[in-house]
Structure formats: structure tokens, C-alpha cells
């Protein structure tokens, strides 16, 4: 993130600053696992930040359904089905078909929706950060907002790993800034308007169960549920953005903000663009 952006978004921090105690949605319970190696203090601090138990081992009586721990050099989220399968972490590598160069070419439906003249972007629904990292690699100046303290911890770990990449250090780049909190509230308090605000809210699935659903999205939906306030988020984004709001939607969903100014079709999804006069 450039110096201009870090000054523009006063108070933004690269790592969440002691988020409020985690209140599991949908009655889901979370704990931190200390794997019994290295220093235990970071695990204690993580558990304290989230207000959840810390375990050194698990058994059949453990009541929690989700767990955070470090494996393979990164922070991972596990559910009871994933305990022996490695878990989920923020993937900092480009997805299939995305360029590894920096800045990557601004082509494809997402870049068309964001706009070639756009410079500053806020991703107000960061989630697993895959769209955020693609936006960052295309050279946009980016601020990320994530409401879930759990996802914010995973993102902070991913961005810290990104900062250590050879190409990031060679180009003297900093990872995106990250804020943990409700974007509806945070967007109201921006000192300067970004060119674009990007939204990728949770929509109810077309079918209750889908064999095609990715495990990462299933876990995210289990943790957070659907975004019941996405209409309010859209209104807040429309007020806060200087030039446009971009909404990523599944192709079956109705446009979130009514008829868009433009729409760009991707595979099984579309990007609706709402331009401001």
C-alpha cells in the first residue's frame, strides 16, 4: 500500500488490533490449538484476541467445531472433518489463469468492472482474500475490510506471508492494508473517498447442497451465514465511493442495487457496476 493510501485511510492497520471477542454465528464454537512446538505465546495471544479456549490436544469430548492453528508455516482454519486433512489458509499464490507478474495486465471481467482509470479500491467483503489479492496484483491501491475476527486473523497471516515473498521485497511493495470491523460502519468514517468499492457479499445458494461448492466457501458460510445486511452495505458503499461500486454476484441472483450501469459476465458469475454521476 502506498504512503498516500496509508495516509488517506487514517487508522488503517496492516494487522487487526485486538478485535472484539468472537461471537460465533449460528451457534458455531471455535478454539485455538497449540501444536506443542515453538513458542506458545502467539497462540495464547490469538486465543485472547478472539476470546476463545486454547487447547494443546483434542478428544471426542471437545465441544468446539472449528479450530485455528499453525501448520506448514501458516495459520489455518480447521473443522472436525479437516483435522487430518491440513486445513484452510489464505492462499497468496495467483489462481489458475492469473498473471504472476506485477502489475498484472488489467484484463478480464473483474478489471473491466473496476475500471482502467480507477486507482484506489476498497474491498469491503474480503473473505478469503482471493479477489483482493488479484486486485492488488493488478496494481490497484487497495484497502481490505473484513467483519469476521477469525477471517481477519487468517488474512493478516496471509498478508504477512505475502510481504515475505521475493518479488514483493524486490519491488519494495507492502501488502494491502487490512481493517477488521463492519464495513457499513467503517465506510461512513472514511476521510477520503476511494475511486471504487468492491462488494462480494454472501448470497443464498441456488441449491441447499451442491457437490460443486468449494470447501473454503462452505466453511465461510458455516462461520458467517448469508449476509443479511447486504442491501445496507450496498447503500453505504454507494455513498462512500467517489466513482463506482462493483458487486460480484452469482449469475442466478437479482442485481443487488437494481439495474446496474454496466455488467460484465464471468464464469457462473457477473460483476454489476454502479456508476456515480
3-state secondary structure string across 179-248: EECCHHHHHHCCCCCCCEEEECCCCCCCCCCCCCCCHHHHHHHHHHCCCCCHHHHHHHHHHHCCCEEEEE
CATH of the domain at 162: 3.40.50.150
pLDDT at res. 49: 94
Domain membership of residue 255 (yes or no) is yes
- Same domain (yes/no): 10, 52: no
Which residues form the domain of 246?
Answer: 3-16+94-275
Q: Going edge to edge, which strands form the sheet with 30-33?
A: 54-55, 30-33, 66-71, 74-79
Domain membership of residue 152 (yes or no) is yes
How many domains in the chain?
A: 2
pLDDT at res. 223: 66
Domain membership of residue 87 (yes or no) is no
Domain membership of residue 193 (yes or no) is yes
Cell numbers placing 266 = 464471468
- Same domain (yes/no): 57, 146: no
- Same domain (yes/no): 134, 228: yes
CATH of the domain at 54: 3.40.120
Domain membership of residue 89 (yes or no) is no
- Same domain (yes/no): 206, 141: yes
pLDDT at res. 261: 97
Whether residue 124 contacts residue 233, with contact meaning beta carbons closer than 8 Å, is answered with: yes
- Same domain (yes/no): 258, 208: yes
pLDDT at res. 16: 37
- Same domain (yes/no): 262, 171: yes
Kindly give the confidence (pLDDT) of every residue in the chain, 277 residues in length, as a single tens digit, with 9 standing for 90 and above. 333 333 333 333 343 333 333 333 434 689 999 998 889 999 999 999 999 999 998 888 889 989 999 999 999 999 877 677 778 999 999 877 676 778 988 989 999 999 989 999 999 999 999 999 999 999 999 999 999 999 999 999 999 999 999 999 999 999 999 999 999 999 998 888 999 999 999 877 765 554 445 666 666 666 666 667 899 999 999 999 999 999 999 988 999 999 999 999 988 899 999 999 7
- Same domain (yes/no): 260, 133: yes
Domain membership of residue 35 (yes or no) is yes
- Same domain (yes/no): 192, 212: yes
Domain membership of residue 61 (yes or no) is yes
Pairing of strands 54-55, 30-33: parallel
Whether residue 269 contacts residue 250, with contact meaning beta carbons closer than 8 Å, is answered with: yes
* Phi-psi domain of 115 (left: phi exceeds 0; alpha: psi -120 through 50; beta: other): left
152-197 pLDDT, tens digit per residue, is 999 999 999 999 999 999 999 999 999 999 999 999 988 889 999 9
Selection from 49, 73, 27 nearest residue 222 by Cα: 27
Domain membership of residue 68 (yes or no) is yes
- Same domain (yes/no): 10, 66: no
Q: Output the CA torsion sign for 149, 154, 159, 163.
A: positive
- Same domain (yes/no): 218, 121: yes
- Same domain (yes/no): 123, 197: yes
All residues at 6 or more sequence positions from 232 whose CB lies less than 8 Å from its CB, including other chains: 184
pLDDT at res. 224: 65
Residue 12 to residue 146: CA distance in whole angstroms: 12
- Same domain (yes/no): 10, 44: no
pLDDT at res. 220: 67
Selection from 85, 83, 113 nearest residue 248 by Cα: 113
Q: How far apart are the first and last CA of the chain?
A: 28
pTM: 0.85
Residue 225 to residue 136: CA distance in whole angstroms: 27
Amino acid at each position: 500500500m502506498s504512503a498516500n493510501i496509508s495516509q488517506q485511510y487514517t487508522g488503517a492497520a496492516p494487522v487487526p488490533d485486538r478485535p472484539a471477542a468472537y461471537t460465533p454465528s449460528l451457534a458455531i464454537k471455535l478454539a485455538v490449538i497449540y501444536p506443542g512446538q515453538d513458542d506458545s505465546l502467539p497462540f495464547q495471544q490469538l486465543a485472547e484476541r478472539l476470546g476463545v479456549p486454547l487447547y494443546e490436544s483434542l478428544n471426542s469430548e471437545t465441544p468446539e467445531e472449528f479450530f485455528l492453528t499453525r501448520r506448514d508455516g501458516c495459520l489455518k482454519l480447521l473443522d472436525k472433518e479437516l483435522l487430518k486433512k491440513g486445513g484452510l489458509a489464505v492462499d497468496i499464490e495467483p489462481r489458475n489463469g492469473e498473471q504472476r507478474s506485477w502489475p498484472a495486465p488489467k484484463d478480464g471481467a473483474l478489471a473491466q468492472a473496476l475500471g482502467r482509470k480507477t486507482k484506489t479500491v476498497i474491498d469491503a467483503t474480503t473473505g478469503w482474500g482471493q479477489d483482493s489479492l488479484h486486485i492488488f496484483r493488478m496494481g490497484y491501491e487497495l484497502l481490505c475490510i473484513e467483519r469476521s475476527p477469525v477471517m481477519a486473523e487468517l488474512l493478516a497471516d496471509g498478508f504477512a506471508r505475502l510481504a515475505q515473498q521475493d518479488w514483493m521485497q524486490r519491488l519494495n511493495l507492502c501488502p494491502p492494508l487490512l481493517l477488521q470491523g463492519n464495513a457499513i460502519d467503517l465506510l461512513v468514517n472514511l476521510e477520503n473517498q476511494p475511486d471504487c468499492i468492491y462488494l462480494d457479499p454472501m448470497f443464498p445458494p441456488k441449491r441447499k447442497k451442491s457437490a460443486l461448492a468449494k470447501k473454503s466457501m462452505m466453511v465461510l458460510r458455516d462461520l458467517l451465514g448469508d449476509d443479511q445486511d447486504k442491501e445496507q452495505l450496498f447503500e453505504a458503499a454507494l455513498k462512500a465511493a467517489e466513482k463506482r461500486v462493483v458487486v460480484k454476484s452469482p449469475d442466478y441472483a437479482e442485481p443487488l442495487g437494481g439495474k446496474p450501469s454496466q455488467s460484465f459476465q464471468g464464469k457462473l458469475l457477473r460483476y454489476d457496476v454502479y456508476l456515480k454521476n
